[in-house]
A and B are shown apart, each in its own frame.
Chain A
Amino acid sequence: MADQELTDRVQELISENPVLLFMKGTPEAPRCGFSMRTVQVLDTMGVEYGAIDVLPALQPLREVTSEISDWETFPQLYVKGELLGGADIVEEMAASGELATALGVEQPETAEVPESASELPAQSPPLKIEGS
């Protein structure tokens, strides 16, 4: 059973911050490879986000997120109050463009289709139907 006061505080943070990352360490000094990868993805998206270091209260926070989100591992990225996932999901969503959509930003250029490929081919004349 998670601590009620901590649960309330976590829910408050999730609702107050449109983009919130629970991570091990800080964005400047991540203390876990998965947290670092998630920070790198967020940085390429160019969004502002809140970050909470879970290490000082790892076990109590695990219990809280287990209850409110059915998820016990960190990092956890919340966007508009919803848990999107951890490092693997965030990376997959970044690659597919789903993350940019969820964040309401343009897909960063590195993942964009080159301009030449998006140009429409010259149109061929419409086929003429004979015998009508």
Chain B
Amino acid sequence: MPADLLELKGMIEAALPGSTAAVIDETGTGDHLRAEVKAPQFEGLTRINQHRLVKAAVRSRFDDGTIHALTIKVIE
């Protein structure tokens, strides 16, 4: 089943209060996605830890196979 982009946006924004996320389907196949996220929680974190926060928010969709790849772009 293709990923629900709005659901993923909602999962990220719910996990990181005050954040704004945009989730884009890069290949049109629904499983290789790009998330652009701006979040106050990123302040002072290393890039890998910023990415870990976003991945953790949508982990259940990785685990159930909905998403195979998620490119994360942190918006300063």
Contacts and interface: CB of A to CB of B under 8 A. Distances in A.
A115 B6 CA distance: 47
Contacts, number: 19
A32 to B, nearest CB: 11
Interface string A79-106: 0000111001100110000100000000
A89 B69 CA distance: 14
Nearest to B62: A72
B51 A89 contact: yes
Nearest to A72: B62
B48 A88 contact: no
B52 A89 contact: no
Interface residues of B, number: 8
B72 A88 contact: yes
Interface in A62-89: 70-71, 73, 83-85, 88-89
Contacts of B69: 73
**Chain A: interface size category:** 10 to 19
Contacts of B72: 88
A83 B48 contact: yes
A89 B71 contact: no
Contacts of A84: 47-48
Interface of A: 70-71, 73, 83-85, 88-89, 92-93, 98
Interface of B: 47-48, 51-52, 69, 71-73
9 contacts: A70-B52, A71-B48, A73-B69, A84-B48, A85-B48, A89-B48, A92-B47, A93-B47, A98-B47
